Structure 1
Amino acid sequence: MAKRVQLVLNQDVSKLGKNGDLVEVAPGYARNYLIPQKLGVPATPGLLKQVERRKEIERQRQLELKEQAIKVKEAIEAAGSFSIRKQVGEGDAIFGSITDPEVAEVIQSVTGQEIDRRTISLPEIRKTGVYRAEIKLHPEVTATVQIQVVPTA
């Protein structure tokens, strides 16, 4: 069996790794495909130090993003509940439904925190009442808010 070769990837390669990853591959795969296609370069001690430095910088960046997400979560949850006024018909049924962009707009108007509507998960809201919504601010940070649907006066 031939010895494996260590490469540092220059681009994401499906089923192998992401840009900057250190991978071990068969020598033929490296020599015939990865290196000529400029998808990877042979690992050298200097290059390994650069990879470690990049990983440390990325880890620090992720830590900062998590801290920012925690601050946004605290600001949102400090506001308590958010009220949305809707026109109501029979049996407390609202016309239409409450959507993610509406919730994001209400949160921004109350707290000043801009929330991406795609991170909000809502139950189906078609009546007046109090509902819980979850906002995924970071892979490890999720805020839970109360949405109160009230009829317009």
Structure 2
Amino acid sequence: MAKRVKIVLNEDIVNLGKDGDLVEVAPGFARNFLLPYGKALAVTPAVLKQVEHRRAKQAKLEAAKKQEALDFQTALITIGRFTVKKQVGEDGVLFGTVTNGDIAEAIKEATKKEIDRREILVPEINGIGNYKVQIKLHSEVTAEINLEVISY
């Protein structure tokens, strides 16, 4: 009886692998769980060819997303400065704080493109002035924008 069986995963499985990975598992695990529930496929030349095709397609999509992020980074740099209006008390101290949601709104108004507010790293902003803000556009692309906080 075989010690290990090679299979291709159809979905992400914790502690085993991601969708499309070629893994070796115990024969009972493959026979009793992975194969009957459609979580994996037995390795055949046709399945391997399909996996390679899927990986090539995924790589092409990932390259397109990265290029889109680079283009958006260039657009953000071209714009140069984004402005957020906040209520200010005496001595230029803010009432409240500037949040990543405020910055996302300012970017959306200027570029007409919505970005995820969770990808914005906001420094501590206590008063009016100019600040540098980091935005993660892609796993490999980050943009740094200038943020101007003014009173209204």
The answer to whether structure 1 residue 22 and structure 2 residue 31 are counterparts is no
Kindly report which structure 2 residues correspond to 1:87-98, keeping only aligned pairs within 5 A, or say none. Answer: 87-98=87-98
Q: 1:80–1:146: 8 Å Cα contact kept in structure 2?
A: yes
* Residue 134 (structure 1) shift: 0.7
**Bigger Cα displacement from structure 2, 63-72 vs 106-115:** 106-115
TM-score by length of 1: 0.92
* Residue 66 (structure 1) shift: 0.2
**Bigger Cα displacement from structure 2, 3-12 vs 137-146:** 3-12
Q: 1:72–1:113: 8 Å Cα contact kept in structure 2?
A: no
Aligned residue in 1 for 2:10: 10
The answer to whether structure 1 residue 74 and structure 2 residue 74 are counterparts is yes
What amino acid does structure 2 have at the position aligned with 1:90? E
Aligned residue in 2 for 1:40: 40
Distance 2:113 2:29 in 1: 49
* Residue 11 (structure 1) shift: 2.0
Distance 1:106 1:41 in 2: 48
Identity of aligned residues (%): 47
- SS of residue matched to 2:24: strand
Distance 1:71 1:4 in 2: 46
What amino acid does structure 1 have at the position aligned with 2:5? V
What is the total number of aligned residue pairs between the two structures? Answer: 152
The answer to whether structure 1 residue 139 and structure 2 residue 139 are counterparts is yes
Specify every segment of 5 or more residues in structure 2 that has no aligned partner in the other structure, as ranges: none
- SS of residue matched to 2:58: helix
Q: 1:87–1:151: 8 Å Cα contact kept in structure 2?
A: yes
Aligned residue in 2 for 1:52: 52
What amino acid does structure 1 have at the position aligned with 2:113? Q
| Cα offsets for 1:66-124 (capped at 9, x unmatched) | 00000000001111111222221122101111111211111122233322212111012
What amino acid does structure 2 have at the position aligned with 1:73? Q
What amino acid does structure 2 have at the position aligned with 1:6? K
Aligned residue in 2 for 1:123: 123
Query: Which consecutive segments of 4 or more residues in structure 1 shift more than 3 A?
Result: none
* Residue 26 (structure 1) shift: 2.0
* Residue 15 (structure 1) shift: 0.5
